[in-house]
Amino acid sequence: MSHAAAQAEPSAPITVPVPLGERAYDILVGRGLIGTAGARIAALGARAAAIVTDAHVGPLYADALAASLEAQGLRISVTVLPPGEATKSYAGLERVCDAVLEARIERGDLVVALGGGVIGDLAGFAAAVVRRGVRFVQVPTTLLSQVDSSVGGKTGINSRHGKNLVGAFHQPSLVLADTALLDTLPIREMRAGYAEVVKYGLIDDPGFFAWCEAHWREVFAGGPERDRAVAQSCRAKAAVVVRDEHENGDRALLNLGHTFGHALERITAYDSARLVHGEGVAIGLCLAFRFSASLGLCPRADAERVEAHLKAAGLPTRLGDVPGGCGTVDALLDAMAQDKKVKGGALTFILARGIGQSFIAPGIEAESVRAFLRDETNTSRP
Amino acid sequence: MSHAAAQAEPSAPITVPVPLGERAYDILVGRGLIGTAGARIAALGARAAAIVTDAHVGPLYADALAASLEAQGLRISVTVLPPGEATKSYAGLERVCDAVLEARIERGDLVVALGGGVIGDLAGFAAAVVRRGVRFVQVPTTLLSQVDSSVGGKTGINSRHGKNLVGAFHQPSLVLADTALLDTLPIREMRAGYAEVVKYGLIDDPGFFAWCEAHWREVFAGGPERDRAVAQSCRAKAAVVVRDEHENGDRALLNLGHTFGHALERITAYDSARLVHGEGVAIGLCLAFRFSASLGLCPRADAERVEAHLKAAGLPTRLGDVPGGCGTVDALLDAMAQDKKVKGGALTFILARGIGQSFIAPGIEAESVRAFLRDETNTSRP
């Protein structure tokens, strides 16, 4: 099994449909998909494709992708951007829009995002606004982007007022999640993406969480379990997105662990040397469960089980795990209040009654959060 | 009648509904609407409003608008931008988005665009992308923006590759077209806007064109005919937009006169000292009708009637009317081919079988356009 998995030969991919009416699309999950990209993208009827990638991913995969597209007769351009969150800026948007226009992409043509979440969010946003909307295809190259940012149509850039505060809902026409690309992913990025995989189990699928506990090593190693984990995560996210495409309700469940996680990212100034998004989410998931337990909503044993699993997978689980610390309780609360999910001034949390039983809890009092964080800060510090 | 019209006292406005399902909204047309803006905007349920205006319009009307909103208890901010097309840029977008975020505008709140097409397009685009979409209200202050850009949900900025090439479809929640604001509009801008009014008659309403011929002086003077002309134009545009919100078909009819007009704007480098949009449209309408006549599609008498009316209203009607000239036939053709309505390389024109009988004509050969323009250039030059 692991021998077959280690090969890069294409097998039949798993198809995850995202049934959004006239914006419906498929997510394909499998090893070696990048080699089949040309035929699949040509089938969408485009005559040209503007590939957008970054200087980490481009040198590894852009040639293979371009060749596959050119073999189908598509006119190709490739734009290589600096890697990292700073690229998700107004300047980055202008650069990508200009490149797409330069490539004479018309309404029937395509933008192809080859990279992680930064490239997907930025290229997707550019596709949303060039000529008031051209189609785009995602080829996510990290576990995080395969299970999270490539599903749901959220695109955008960062503002000096916060992350992802400027953007659009723009659904891709196709997502090709080539799980073989993860073979070369740094272990820290793999773990960070895995925190989002676990999240789907914690939201509403206790069976999937148990499956993760049993199979996480194979997911990391690249066996067929990896494809299954990616596909199941996409299915779970798609199900929520279909219920609530524009985030007016249920979609907030996907923020489980994120109110805390975003605050930690803000506190650490988005310095990836200290904390990457998925690590913030891992700590945030543990905090959400422990907060739920402290409010008497959730068995303490469930909170401990969440922590044990994330810890086993090599992820941070406590405020004290953040290198350089995470500031005072007040600073954390301030950082949380800045979150864009704040509505009418009240704090909204995603809490849980147990593993796989999360729910939206609006109007949580700042005082009860403060008391909880005070306890956490004390127990976290050595 | 003209005595009553000259007063700024509010009368019952004309309501033009734009029935776009869950994006439906009303356009109100009438004198003195700005004084009632507060109550009307508060009724939308917002708690805060970010007013975006420019340095021409802001000093005239921003205080009155702000006072009307504050009287209803809304939290207000005012952003004043440099006037002119150059503001519709990536930098302008960043500035407005930042101002809207700074003003803590949340999903239920509003951006209010107080100004002409530039402010409407830019503030509307910012509203489309801040937090992936907040609501906005248009208070158009020119005839052109009251009858054109405030209807239909097209928002955007210019790119170095062309005008309006980056943007979004984002419908306003309400449009307040205060026709008293046009009393102080420079006559040249009034005329330019009037070209778009005439266009609606030419597209599919010969009765409205005849009404324009009979009543254009009252429209300019500010009588109740002005309100009627604005309301009828909005109704006409709304009817097309409702049939084709995202410009996949019928909506192209609204481009009558615009393929030529945009080319002229491009040729004159968008120098408003030489040519403003509506003037380009006026010449473009005449060219579209004369081109239709030269192809044997339309009676020559209709083309002459179009020209006579636009000329009577003080608008340019010939290539030779462009100050500084409009270059060679080849340069005009090149400028036309760059238009974003080019699809698959072929030129699409809106032509006419007579006044009020326009239609979409895809796949027009460049050679027949060239021959027509050669004739026009010869007859236009003294």
| SS3 annotation, chain A | CHHHHHCCCCCCCEEEEECCHHHCEEEEEECCHHHHHHHHHHCCCCCEEEEEEECCCHHHHHHHHHHHHHCCCCEEEEEEECCCHHHCCHHHHHHHHHHHHHCCCCCCCEEEEEECHHHHHHHHHHHHHECCCCEEEEEECCHHHHHHHCCCCEEEEEECCEEEEEEEECCCCEEEEEHHHHHHCCHHHHHHHHHHHHHHHHHHCHHHHHHHHHHHHHHHHCCHHHHHHHHHHHHHHHHHHHHCCCCCCHHHHHHCCHHHHHHHHHHCCCCCCCCCHHHHHHHHHHHHHHHHHHCCCCCHHHHHHHHHHHHHCCCCCCHHHCCCCCCCHHHHHHHHHCCCCCECCEEEEEEECCCCCEEEEEEECHHHHHHHHHHHHHHHCC
Bridge partners (DSSP) listed for residue B167: B156
Phi, psi dihedral angles at B233 (to 5 degrees)? -65, -45
Q: DSSP letter at A343?
A: B
pLDDT at B169: 95
Asked if residues A27 and A175 have their Cβ atoms less than 8 Å apart, the reply is yes
pLDDT at A346: 66
Tens of pLDDT, residue by residue over A63-78, are: 999 999 999 999 999 9
Cα A380 to its chain centre, rounded Å, is 27
CA distance A292 to chain B (A): 28
Nearest CB among B94, B162, B166 relative to A129 is that of B166
Residues in chain A closer than 8 A to B50 (CB atoms): none
pLDDT at A173 over 70: yes
Yes or no, beta carbons of A162 and B128 under 8 Å apart:
no
DSSP string of B155-209?
EEEEETTEEEEEEEE---SEEEEEGGGGGGS-HHHHHHHHHHHHHHHHHH-HHHH
pLDDT at A320: 93
Q: What is the ipTM of this complex?
A: 0.89
Annotated binding site of A: 117-121, 141-142, 154, 163, 196, 258, 277
pLDDT at A12 over 50: yes
Integer Cα distance of A332 and A326 in angstroms: 8
Asked if residues B274 and B322 have their Cβ atoms less than 8 Å apart, the reply is yes
Residue A373 neighbours by CB under 8 Å, 6+ apart? A319, A329, A332, A333
Integer Cα distance of A294 and A274 in angstroms: 28
pLDDT at A270: 84
Question: Which residue has 């005239």 as its token pair?
Answer: B60
Dihedral, CA of residue A313, residue A315, residue A319 and residue A320, to nearest 10: 90
Yes or no, beta carbons of A168 and B129 under 8 Å apart:
yes
> Which two three-digit tokens encode residue A302?
């469930």
Yes or no, beta carbons of B166 and A246 under 8 Å apart:
no
Which residue has better confidence, A326 or B89?
B89
Assign A3 a pLDDT band (cuts: 50, 70, 90).
very low
Tens of pLDDT, residue by residue over A217-263, are: 999 999 899 999 999 999 999 998 888 877 777 888 999 999 999 99
Single-letter amino acid code for the residue at B25 = Y
Tens of pLDDT, residue by residue over A338-380, are: 654 554 556 889 999 999 999 999 888 888 999 999 999 886 5
Please compute, for residue B121, the number of CA atoms within 13 A of its CA located in the half-sphere on the CB side: 26
Task: Give the rounded percent of residues in chain A with a pLDDT score beyond 70.
Answer: 94
CA distance B109 to chain A (A): 10
Instruction: Report the chain A residue with the minimal C-alpha distance to residue B156.
Output: A132
pLDDT at B88: 96
Active site residues of B: 132, 154, 196, 237, 247, 251, 255, 258, 262, 277
From chain A, which residues contact B within 8 Å (Cβ)? 90, 93-94, 97-98, 101-102, 106-108, 125, 128-133, 154, 156, 159-162, 165-169, 246-247, 340, 342-344
From chain B, which residues contact A within 8 Å (Cβ)? 90, 93-94, 97-98, 101-102, 106-107, 125, 128-133, 154, 156, 159-162, 165-169, 246-247, 340, 342-344
Angle, to 10 degrees, between the axis of helix A224-243 and the axis of helix A206-221?
140
pLDDT at B244: 81
Catalytic, A341? Answer no
**How much is the average pLDDT of A299-305?**
98
Task: Give the rounded percent of residues in chain A with a pLDDT score beyond 90.
Answer: 77
Residues in chain B closer than 8 A to A106 (CB atoms): 342-344
Q: B258: helix, coil or strand?
A: helix
Nearest CB among A94, A108, A168 relative to B168 is that of A168
Q: B154: helix, coil or strand?
A: strand
Question: Which residue has 């939290």 as its token pair?
Answer: B75
Residue B84 neighbours by CB under 8 Å, 6+ apart? B54, B118, B272
Yes or no, beta carbons of A133 and B94 under 8 Å apart:
no
Residues in chain B closer than 8 A to A133 (CB atoms): 168-169, 246
pLDDT at A339: 57
Nearest CB among B132, B154, B169 relative to A154 is that of B132
**Domains of chain B, with CATH numbers?**
2-184 (3.40.50.1970), 191-380 (1.20.1090.10)
Mean pLDDT of chain A: 91
Assign A10 a pLDDT band (cuts: 50, 70, 90).
low
Nearest CB among A107, A128, A165 relative to B101 is that of A165
Per-run averaged pLDDT (10 residues), chain B, 382 residues: 44 91 94 95 95 97 96 97 95 98 92 97 98 97 93 93 93 97 96 98 97 98 96 94 80 91 90 93 98 97 98 97 89 77 67 97 88 85 45
